[in-house]
Chain A
């Protein structure tokens, strides 16, 4: 008891804790750190945003601004014409609606299938687990153009194990030009970057303590219930991360959509790819430096929904996890 009060007195007299000077020192330290952080974040933000600033600024340029060498970043006679024409030529709102439906559907499918596979690899003793997991790695590593040709022919004459033939009088179906090839591949865990998501989920599940699911199993929950009601809620951070990536990359997909010739009524990414040519032909604008301005407007239009989705998910989901602290 005595030693405790002695220690208390010692602490009370410790200059770094109680005295005004100590407090000021700590304040100063915090302040210097905040300054350092702000400077660093600002600098890096500038590096990241600088191309975007140029793109946004130029998307408001009128023709005169474009030809005027004195104009830099701030247009003298700003115009919304680039946006209006781009929205019209891309059929922006209709295609965006279709695209969102398509992307969200694929993302849900991808999160379910990849989290299942990730959980399977993380927690079960599957025979030949190492070999099978190597398959996941191969899926990620293999440059996608390598298997373009086989994929194309597979879906051109789609008849796996003759199953399709049973319903189609023995002949195969051509799925090219429809979204089905992408949907089938995503549902079977080999969609766009699925391997990476399986890997992320696998690492996340392995990082979770085993006790939580053991408790669920002891309480009599089946494997599937454990997965749905115990593991998935605990992996919210992983789900949010994968969802964000999946949405961004599906939305921006330039590979599967083009390979399988998915209609550009669904894919905004194909619309932006052809925007410059469309505007050059339909609006008879031949100067590439002007048509580029339309592309910039189109790019801003494409980025906006993604950014809103990201901010929404960050704010509502991730900070929600922080507050509740589900894990552990």
Chain B
């Protein structure tokens, strides 16, 4: 059999992707199918060894999620709203910081290590250990909420609120102070949530060949032009990556996922919990498709 070059190339491509496709089919797709089945069923946990029993109940779980469950629609809404507010801030902040610490200055190895710390501190095992330790101190088991993880250690460091509320002694109105406190807290969360993005942007900046900058310098480009005409287009493929990552990261730590988790593992309601995760995942996928369509056209690929 004679194959055309294009056919041959697509087969080679398939070989490259094959391991992932097999894994996806066996584990993820199978998992999704099971979850979809659960979402249409009454699921009874029959015991630790014998697994679960499912009985078909049409759309009852879906209807319950939107009409009976007291908080799901609201939680889904706030999760998505928070995501839309935070994503641009995180992207701008992390690009800015990556540009800043990509410059040559003394001690930049240490600074880069420091900016990597949120990635380590936010990683599940360490974050959970700290969280559990703190929960023991307060007493009782606290839900592993990401907000708590983000503000990790706030009772150890200097209490910013205390200093900010000292302003009220200067007769500054309470609402204004409240706003400042809010802003400070959001900054904190954004810094903590930007660790991964900064590392990705750093890698992108570092893979821009220095010769391009030299050429631009010889041609007399201003720093402003250099940024918009060289740096920005060259990192644009990874802006898309970072936007996608930020959306997903913000989703996987959002209240709606926590709600789904607790519905399954605290209330043992597999059916309803599956509906929550399926619907919210679908919503996020939709957002991703829209974002990819908007950004994809503006992304610069060297071809």
Which residues of A pack against B, CB within 8 Å? 34, 37, 40-41, 44-45, 47-55, 58, 113-114, 116-117, 119-121, 123-127, 132, 134-147, 149-151, 153-154, 160, 185, 187-190, 194, 196, 198-200, 203-204, 206-210, 223, 227, 236-238, 240-241, 244-245, 248-249, 251-255, 268-270, 272-273, 275-276, 288-289, 291-292, 295-296, 298-299, 302-303, 306-307, 310-311, 314-315, 318, 321-322, 325, 327-328
Contact = CB atoms under 8 A, between A and B. Distances in A.
B19 A207 contact: no
Given A223-B12, A255-B124, A189 B20 contact: yes
A276 B10 contact: no
A200 B202 CA distance: 13
B51 A153 contact: yes
B281 A141 contact: yes
Contacts of A325: 209-211
Interface residues of B, number: 105
A95 B23 CA distance: 29
B200 A135 contact: no
A224 B288 CA distance: 32
Contact of A120 (B17, B121, B126): B17
B199 A244 contact: yes
B100 interface: yes
Given A45-B114, A120-B14, A248-B120, A40 B100 contact: yes
B1 interface: no
Contact of B203 (A125, A238, A303): A238
Nearest to B134: A292
Contacts of B118: 48
B109 A203 contact: no
Contacts of A255: 124
**B interface secondary structure, majority:** helix
A302 B125 CA distance: 10
B301 A206 contact: yes
B119 interface: yes
Interface in B58-84: none
Interface in B25-67: 26-32, 34-35, 51-52
Contacts of A189: 19-20, 23-24
Nearest to A249: B123
B31 to A, nearest CB: 3
Given A124-B12, A244-B199, A138 B285 contact: yes
Contacts of A149: 34, 52, 270
